[in-house]
Amino acid sequence: MSVSCMPYAGRVAVAALCLALVGGCASQRVSPRDLPGSTLEAARGPDENARLYTDLIRQLISQDRLYAALAHLQAREQEFGVTDELRLLRADILRKMDDLGGARRLYEQLLDTPYVGQAHHGLGLIIARDDLAAGEVHLQKAVALVPTDARMRNDLGYAKLRQGQLAQARLQLATAYQLDEANELNRNNYILLLLTEGNDRKAARIAADNQIDAGVMRELRREARTIAGSAGNAPVGNAAVRPVTPATAPAAVGGGGG
């Protein structure tokens, strides 16, 4: 009689899995989606489950499904505990819900954590609602700390564009666009910059390549004229700090993903 080299615990685990599959291990192939959720969670392990849960929350935030995101965040905290990453997600949710005081307190708590760049970004978006130049200071710090984050580059570039700093805006918005060309807000803000600079030919080429709706282009041209006429004197509460969808208003600080 042959003796298996598999450890006893491993033989028990395999046997238990076989019993769970109708028809036995050898006779039936089973897809992962046929297994109970608890079995899949155990197979992934706590770290992978936590990552997947966090990705779900981020996706809900990016879709502006904020109440659903908050519900899943609360469930995540109950299961895995409160972490700095979850504090950041809660701050992003509260900011987008216009609970600016609650969001600001959380961002400030994160300034001494590995999420300091994201914290400066959130603070910049909040402060820019009342003082665009002061908010830009935090946005600049965020980009310096996380230079490959397209969303941060986009927000800083738009803030500079609103203040008439076209050369600096070009650096940030072109970088954001090239880092994530598929992002509609990055693309629209880059086109907005080109129109503001008078580079209509390149703006039209990007619009044609991406099949941008004519209505969106009209809105972008209108916004470019507004910026050209009032750069450096953008009023409080302007489009730079309103969360909008690209189809209705093509450019906004903080309009991407949270």
The whole-number pLDDT of residue 80 equals: 83
Task: Report pTM.
Answer: 0.73
Cα of first residue to Cα of last residue in the chain, in angstroms, is: 63
Do 234 and 240 contact (CB within 8 A), yes or no? Answer: yes
CA distance 37 to 44: 11
> Residues 204-233: pLDDT tens digits?
999 999 999 999 999 999 999 999 887 554
| Model pLDDT for residues 171-194, shown as the tens digit of each residue | 999 999 999 999 999 999 999 999
pLDDT at 39 over 50: no
Coil, strand or helix: which one is 87? helix
Residue ranges and CATH numbers for the domains of the chain are 46-147 (1.25.40.10), 149-258 (1.25.40)
Is 52 exposed, middle or buried, given 0-12, 13-18 or 19+ CB atoms closer than 10 A? exposed
Rounded CA gap, 209 and 201, in Å? 12
pLDDT for res 79:
87
Contact 194, 200 (CB under 8 A): yes
Q: Coil, strand, or helix at residue 150?
A: helix
Task: Give the residue from 121, 116, 191, 108 showing the smallest Cα distance to 152.
Answer: 121
By CB neighbour count within 10 A (0-12 exposed, 13-18 middle, 19+ buried), where does 146 fall? middle
